[in-house]
């Protein structure tokens, strides 16, 4: 079943999810399966060339050299053992391999059960990945489920970030707790959490300033925010989402590593998947750090946030 | 995290010592490492393939230079080739003969167009221009407010205008009005910040084309995130096909991404990278230097310059003399110590040396440490040794309490510092002596830097 923050997905929504997921991922002119067809067309047998071509395919999807090599080594072992020379079978095995990595991460990092309201979701990431937009969409999802949501504008740094979140607050009928630009993010977080506790709001979603993961002082600020959250609500933040742009290359791994160190990331939101980028770095992240992808962003509308399903993700890449 | 390419290549070439020519066979392993390094740096795999072929053609048959190891030589070829591709000189902004000059900013969502617009305006202002900013991003919430705040911060002019409906007609109207406003208010450069868009979004790409027709811009800058992966070629290619870009701005280079996208984008568009964004402040925009990004892509800092610098300034013969004397027994005098210090000083400041190392990977800690190094310390140590007599330098054991006082006074330091120096010197000397006796002897004698 599709693992989301909010339990499993409604059956009736499934076709539209599938459709849009597929639309998002197969929009590439030259997609993964096409290239694999090309690769195996040269030879029926799984020879060195075939594997080289497969390698190029995985690398062009941003899986990175290490993950690609590992996946292909395992694929070759299996192929040898099972005497597989058939193209379809090879594809099935490759899918299985990647799927295995993604599902292992999802079960390694299950969604936490939360004692009582509010559940606190901290949203972090480097600059320009789509944190604020994702929060707008997430609040739309939650509001659609009849939950009460409070948005916390803790990006006090970037010009007009607070205004941007407020527009999303209006669009989704959600209140925004804010401070003045340049204010202390931990202070506004404190206020938001107290307000949410008093009102028994179901969810608090915290927007943070985009920051490059190699800036130690900015990362320390996130640590401070976490401590603040814990002081107000034990166990908070219950979920820390790292928002990552699907166009991100191998630096995504380092992002995930360092944000996990400072902010305790529990899941990833992969945004801008409606472009031609495939976001394959999340496979590398799942493999190395065991971090699951929770959602994907496929557009700029409030409804363009979808729960991530590893199976569908891999399927849509290949079909 | 990742091993530096230089080390890898050197390891690869260890087996080849004594081979005089770079051949196809002995290059294979090196090229494999190079390929991995480039892919890890997010250079597009097709671009990598093309590039490797080029390097192979250039390198095979070359005489191995005596000054460089084969590994270093391959790196040199790779570097030269990369710099060649990226363009040797930093590109300039093209200005219109009849103002206003129009600069159109284009790019994907979140690449940093608005911040870069602000930085560019700031840069132009500092260059004596009068830029006018306008945001035609009527789609993203608070995008126009963002540019307004930016403009206020850097005290640049901005045309705000009125937004009715968020559609292409409004975008075109705002652009026209802004250009007129630039003429009226005597601003010589108009920077047009646009909404982020996907290269496959036909409607918004059409809008971009109509903006181009309308404004007739001198520069269409593609703003790209340095962290972009393999997809960089797709977006850059599409933007270039639709708009004929005139240059590229690579943003977020203050991160630790290797920035291989620079090579991919350059390769598919053929347009120069004009600027790089290196921070969140509005002065953090720099002209692009190909050699720096090349070192970064290869993950090796400016190691070649470091090697060059070291070879220029260090008197090898002298160093070897000192080394062999030191290892032979009592020969390492304070005078030798001072010579060593002087050679270090000749190489330049420690910070600038460290700056040539990669700021990422295993070296990141080193650079931070270098910030804390007290350059004055070396000067003080030298001053202390200068204040000694010749006899004292050769026989440190004669330096008693009153001599220490005199030396401290003479060098403008304290007795404590003199004591410290003598203690360190004694330790070093002892270390050398032990090494000389032990099996380290041969290795040490061949070293360029004994004990520093």
CB pair distance less than 8 Å for B230 and A61: yes
Q: How many CB atoms lie within 10 A of CB B152?
A: 11
d(CA A139, CA A147): 9
CA distances in angstroms from B66 to A205, A211, B142, listed in the order given = 62, 46, 61
Among A317, A235, A215, smallest CA distance to A273 is for A317
CB pair distance less than 8 Å for B256 and A56: no
| Tokens, residue A234 | 């034990």
CB pair distance less than 8 Å for B255 and A61: no
CB pair distance less than 8 Å for A248 and B108: no
Distance (Å) from the C-alpha of residue B42 to the closest C-alpha of chain A? 6
Contacts of B32 (CB under 8 A, 6+ apart): none
Q: Which residue of A has its CA nearest to B152?
A: A159
d(CA A200, CA B372): 50
CB of B184 within 8 Å of a chain A CB? The answer is: no
Among A303, A309, A302, smallest CA distance to A169 is for A302
The model's pLDDT over A185-221, given as tens digits with 9 standing for 90+, comes to 999 999 999 999 999 999 999 999 999 999 989 999 9
pLDDT of residue B6: 56
What is the complex's ipTM, to 2 decimals?
Answer: 0.84
CB pair distance less than 8 Å for B39 and A65: yes
Contacts of A129 (CB under 8 A, 6+ apart): A210, A243, A244, A245, A248, A271, B110
**Quick one: B155 exposed, middle or buried, by C-beta within 10 A (0-12, 13-18, 19+)?**
exposed
The alpha helices in B314-414, defined as continuous H runs, are 316-328, 334-346, 350-355, 364-372, 375-386, 390-394, 401-411
Q: Domain B307-444 sits in which CATH superfamily? A: Signal recognition particle, SRP54 subunit, M-domain (1.10.260.30)
Mutation for testing the B interface, residue in A159, A162, A279 having most B CBs under 10 Å: A159
Mutation for testing the B interface, residue in A134, A216, A247 having most B CBs under 10 Å: A247
Nearest CB neighbour to A276, from listed B139, B148, B200: B200
| Tokens, residue A139 | 């609040």
The model's pLDDT over B231-271, given as tens digits with 9 standing for 90+, comes to 999 999 999 999 999 999 999 998 888 889 999 999 999 99
CB pair distance less than 8 Å for B150 and A159: yes
pLDDT of residue B322: 66
Partners of A157 on chain B (C-beta within 8 Å) are 280
pLDDT of residue B444: 42
d(CA A30, CA A278): 11
d(CA B104, CA B137): 12
Partners of B112 on chain A (C-beta within 8 Å) are 127-128
CB pair distance less than 8 Å for A157 and B280: yes
Rounded to an integer, the average pLDDT of A277-281 is 92
Q: How many CB atoms lie within 10 A of CB B114?
A: 28
Rounded to an integer, the average pLDDT of B187-212 is 96
CB pair distance less than 8 Å for A167 and B142: yes
CB pair distance less than 8 Å for A214 and B255: yes
Nearest CB neighbour to A59, from listed B1, B39, B257: B39
What are the domain boundaries of chain B? 3-86, 101-289, 307-444
Rounded to an integer, the average pLDDT of A48-66 is 84
Partners of B260 on chain A (C-beta within 8 Å) are 249
Tell me what the pLDDT averaged over chain B comes to: 81
> Is the bond leading into A240 cis (omega within 30 degrees of zero)?
no
Mutation for testing the A interface, residue in B231, B253, B258, B284 having most A CBs under 10 Å: B231
| Tokens, residue B277 | 């964004």
**Element (H or E) spanning B102, and its range?**
strand B101-106
CB pair distance less than 8 Å for A249 and B42: yes
pLDDT of residue B177: 97
pLDDT of residue B223: 98
Angle between helices A216-232 and A185-199 (to 10 degrees): 20
Nearest CB neighbour to B45, from listed A56, A128, A254: A56
**Element (H or E) spanning A306, and its range?**
strand A305-307
Looking at CATH, the fold of the domain delimited by B3-86 is given as 1.20.120
pLDDT of residue B16: 54
Residue A153 pairs with which residues in a beta bridge? Answer: A207
Class of CATH domain B101-289: alpha beta
CB B209 within 8 A of CB B95: no
- Cβ within 8 Å of A, B 51-110: 108-110
Strands B285-287 and B273-277: what pairing? antiparallel
Where residue B57 falls among pLDDT bands split at 50, 70, 90?
Answer: confident
């Amino acid at each position: 079943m599709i693992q989301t923050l909010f339990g499993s997905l409604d059956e009736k929504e499934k076709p539209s999810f599938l459709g849009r997921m597929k639309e998002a991922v197969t929009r590439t002119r030259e997609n993964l399966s096409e290239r694999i067809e090309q690769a195996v067309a040269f030879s029926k047998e799984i020879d060195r060339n075939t594997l080289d071509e497969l390698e190029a395919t995985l690398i062009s999807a941003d899986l990175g050299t290490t993950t690609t090599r590992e996946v292909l080594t395992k694929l070759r072992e299996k192929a040898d053992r099972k005497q597989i020379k058939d193209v379809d079978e090879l594809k099935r095995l490759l899918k299985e391999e990647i799927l295995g990595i993604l599902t292992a991460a999802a079960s390694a990092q299950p969604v936490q059960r939360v004692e009582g309201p509010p559940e606190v979701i901290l949203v972090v990431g480097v600059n320009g990945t789509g944190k604020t937009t994702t929060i707008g969409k997430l609040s739309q999802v939650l509001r659609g489920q009849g939950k009460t949501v409070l948005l916390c504008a803790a990006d006090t740094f970037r010009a007009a970030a607070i205004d941007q979140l407020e527009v999303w607050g209006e669009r989704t009928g959600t209140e925004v707790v804010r401070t003045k630009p340049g204010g202390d993010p931990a202070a506004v977080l404190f206020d938001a959490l107290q307000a949410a506790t008093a009102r028994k709001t179901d969810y608090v979603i915290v927007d943070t300033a985009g920051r490059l993961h190699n800036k130690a002082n900015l990362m320390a600020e996130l640590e401070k925010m976490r401590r603040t959250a814990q002081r107000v609500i034990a166990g908070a933040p219950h979920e820390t989402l790292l928002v990552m742009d699907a166009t991100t290359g191998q630096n995504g791994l380092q992002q995930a590593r360092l944000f996990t160190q400072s902010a305790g990331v529990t899941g990833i939101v992969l945004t801008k998947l409606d472009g031609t980028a495939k976001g394959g770095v999340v496979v590398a992240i799942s493999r190395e750090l065991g971090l699951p992808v929770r959602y994907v962003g496929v557009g700029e509308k409030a409804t363009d946030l979808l729960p991530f399903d590893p199976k569908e993700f891999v399927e849509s890449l290949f079909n | 995290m990742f091993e530096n390419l230089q080390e890898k290549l050197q390891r690869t070439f260890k087996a080849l010592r004594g081979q005089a020519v770079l051949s196809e066979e002995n290059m294979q392993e090196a090229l494999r490492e190079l390929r991995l390094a480039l892919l890890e740096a997010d250079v597009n795999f097709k671009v990598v393939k093309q590039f490797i072929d080029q390097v192979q053609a250039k390198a095979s048959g070359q005489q191995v230079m005596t000054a460089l190891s084969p590994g270093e030589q391959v790196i040199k070829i790779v570097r030269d080739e990369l710099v060649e591709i990226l363009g040797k000189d930093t590109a300039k902004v093209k200005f219109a003969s009849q103002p206003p000059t129009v600069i159109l900013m284009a790019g994907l969502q979140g690449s940093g167009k608005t911040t870069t617009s602000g930085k560019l305006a700031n840069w132009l202002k500092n260059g004596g221009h009068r830029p006018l900013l306008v945001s035609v991003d009527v789609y993203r919430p608070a995008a126009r407010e963002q540019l307004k705040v930016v403009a206020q911060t850097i005290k640049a002019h901005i045309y705000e205008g009125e937004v009715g409906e968020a559609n292409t007609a409004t975008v075109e109207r705002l652009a026209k009005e802004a250009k007129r406003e630039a003429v009226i208010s005597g601003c010589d450069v108009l920077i047009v910040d646009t909404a982020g868009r996907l290269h496959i979004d036909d409607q918004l790409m059409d809008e971009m084309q109509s903006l181009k027709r309308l404004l007739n811009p001198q520069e269409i800058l593609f703003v790209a995130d340095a962290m972009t992966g393999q997809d960089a070629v797709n977006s850059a290619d599409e933007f270039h096909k639709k708009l004929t870009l005139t240059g590229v701005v690579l943003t977020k280079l203050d991160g630790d991404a290797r920035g291989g996208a620079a090579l991919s984008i350059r390769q598919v568009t053929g347009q120069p990278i004009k600027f790089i964004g290196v921070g969140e402040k509005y002065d953090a925009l720099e002209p692009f230097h190909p050699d720096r990004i090349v070192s970064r892509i290869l993950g090796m800092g400016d190691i070649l310059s470091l090697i060059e610098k070291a070879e220029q300034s260090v008197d090898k013969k002298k160093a070897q003399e000192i080394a062999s004397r030191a290892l032979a027994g009592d020969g390492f005098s304070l005078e030798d110590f001072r010579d060593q210090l002087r050679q270090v000083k000749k190489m330049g400041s420690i910070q600038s040396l460290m700056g040539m190392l990669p700021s990422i990977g295993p070296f990141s800690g080193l650079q931070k440490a270098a910030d804390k190094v007290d350059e004055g310390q070396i000067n003080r140590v030298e001053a202390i040794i200068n204040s000694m007599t010749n006899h004292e330098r050769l026989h440190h054991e004669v330096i008693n309490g009153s001599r220490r006082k005199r030396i401290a006074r003479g060098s403008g330091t304290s007795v404590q510092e003199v004591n410290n120096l003598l203690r360190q010197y004694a330790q070093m000397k002892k270390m050398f002596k032990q090494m000389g006796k032990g099996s380290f002897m041969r290795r040490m004698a061949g070293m360029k830097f004994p004990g520093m």
